[in-house]
Amino acid sequence: MEFFGIDWSEKHILKTNTTLVCTSEIEKINAEELKKEVEPWLSAIFQSEHLSLLIGTGLTSAVSFTAGVVPQEMSRLALDNGLSEKIKSKADETAVKMNRGEANIEDDIRIALELINGLKILDDERYTDLESELDTKLLAFIKAILKTERDFVNKLKADDQKGILAFNLLKSFILSFTSRAASRERLNLFTTNYDRFIELACDETGVLLLDRFKGKIQPIFRNTRLELDYHYNPPGIRGEPRYVEGVARITKLHGSIDWKFTGDKIIKSLLPFGAADTHPEIPQNVTEQVVIYPNSSKDIETAFYPYAELFRDFSSAICQPNSVIITYGYGFGDSHINRVIEDMLTIPSTHLVVIAWDRNYANEGEPVNFGSSRERIIKFLENKNSAQCTLLMGEHFADLKNLVEFYLPKSAIDRLTVKMQKLKDNRGDRNKGEGNSANDNKGEE
């Protein structure tokens, strides 16, 4: 299959509006040379009026593997209940309908929740056993996520070099997006992850996150999204507040392990990153309390609070002129997210950047075996305008270390490097085609 001029059977794919690389031989990729083309291109994209970043499980996996930590697996939900086979077959069926390919634990959880609600409507007592077992499995799922977080923290506490490298790469990755020029709209950060790696990196780098929660002691989910922001008054200047740098808006589209229902409200529990399995903030009745909505379906979109509110934030943020969305580690397996991105791309001034690892070879030398992630991306892009799409796919281009070192724009907060580059510009020392920083356009506002 070939469109956009791309041979999709190749292992590493780079496509901008001026550069195309398709190869399976990593030694043919000259990262230093490509940097001169890719970094300025991404710098220009990052200065679009509206910038959004969509992060999937691929980021957690990349950070975990770099740190030498085992990430939470997304294998199937193993239920012993008599209804388990029906749940499994229905999950397989709906995964195909939603173009997800093979079903995973998220599909199983969603179908089990729907079945429990159906049995309750029918006053069928079988729901009690199913709900009890699902509660146990969900608790194990949450504890597995916490274990990944805990193992990562232990690496940092032990001054493990792999852990420190992984954390530094994560922080640099986040800063490349969040350090927007103050005259631009704030970064909209969306994630389908339940873990808190993004929040941890933002805390450590001083990035301030705005979300729908209000309050400090017991943050409560707001039904309406208020356009709040952070400003400061420069010394000697009165009546002209300016935006604080390093602020982003975050939306966790599928919920989070530290969100839970309390009565008719959703609160953010005080569950530390990597908390112990015995932590009191871990709910005992997981099915009823924890706010985790695995993936989209029509019923969940309309019936499950606050799922509709979160997706409304997503659609309103990206579906507007001069909007850019970058995806990293997202496998295009959520049909509702895909529909919103498709709507966005009907606006000619919008742009999509796909960064995907997609390891589609089992071993070197073996025939190509398309992973379901690549198949979904190909299907999504098939009828899109090539000029509106930028791709960095494969083990080289989507590798977190390569991205940070070669391709992503340098953080605009890095003032020393920016000033050094300006001195070079004034002296005529800049190499032709050398990449700009994410903040180079700031003076042109």
Say if 153 falls within a structural domain. no
Q: How far apart are the first and last CA of the chain?
A: 43
| Structure tokens, 323 | 């909007």
pLDDT of residue 311 exceeding 90, the answer is: no
Spell out the residues 6+ positions from residue 169 whose beta carbon is closer than 8 angstroms to its own.
63, 66, 400, 401, 404
Structural domain contains residue 101: no
Residue that wins the pLDDT comparison between 300 and 151: 151
Confidence band for 336, pLDDT divided at 50, 70 and 90: confident
| Residue 270 predicted with pLDDT over 60 | yes
CB environment 404-431: b (16+ within 10 A), e (fewer): bebbbbbbbbbeeebeebeeeeeeeeee
Instruction: Give the range of the structural domain holding residue 176, as residue numbers without chain letter.
Output: 2-73+161-444
Q: Is residue 114 part of a domain?
A: no
Q: What is the mean pLDDT of the chain?
A: 85
CATH number assigned to the domain comprising residue 421: 3.40.50.1220
Flag whether 140 is in a domain: no
DSSP H or E stretch at residue 110 = helix 105-121
Distance CA 437, CA 86 (A): 54
CA 104 from centroid of its chain's CA atoms: 18
What is the identity of the amino acid at 123?
Answer: D
CB count in 10 Å sphere of residue 366: 8
Task: Report which DSSP code applies to 111.
Answer: H
User: pLDDT tens digits for 341-358?
Assistant: 999 999 999 999 999 987
334, with CB counted inside 10 A (0-12, 13-18, 19+), is: buried
Is residue 428 assigned to a domain? Answer: yes
Domain count, the chain: 1
Judged against a pLDDT cut of 90, whether residue 91 lies above it is answered with no
Tokens of 356: 């995907």
Average the pLDDT over 385-394 and give the result: 95
Burial of residue 443 (number of CB atoms within 10 Å: 0-12, 13-18, 19+): exposed
β-strand pairing of 208-210 with 247-252: parallel
State what percent of residues in the chain have pLDDT above 70. 86
What's the DSSP call for residue 136? H
Q: Give the per-residue pLDDT at 435.
A: 46
Among the listed ranges 222-236, 348-362, 413-427, which one has the minimum average pLDDT value? Answer: 413-427
Establish if 124 belongs to a structural domain. no
Q: Say whether 274 sits in a helix, a strand or coil.
A: coil
Q: What is the pLDDT of residues 350-389, one digit of tens each?
A: 999 999 987 544 344 444 443 468 888 999 999 999 999 9
DSSP state of 435: P
pTM for this predicted structure = 0.86
- Which residue did the predictor score with more confidence, 426 or 136? 136
Of 392, 353, 345, 370, which is closest to residue 101 (Cα–Cα)?
Answer: 370
Q: Sign of dihedral through CA atoms 346, 349, 350, 354?
A: positive
CA dihedral of 195, 198, 200, 202, whole degrees rounded to 10: -160
* pLDDT score, position 5: 87
Query: Within a 10 A sphere around the Cβ of 25, how many other Cβ atoms?
Result: 9
- CA 14 centroid distance within chain: 20
User: CB–CB of 184/233 below 8 Å?
Assistant: no
**Average pLDDT estimate for 261-285:** 89
**Residues 43/436, Cβ–Cβ less than 8 Å:** yes
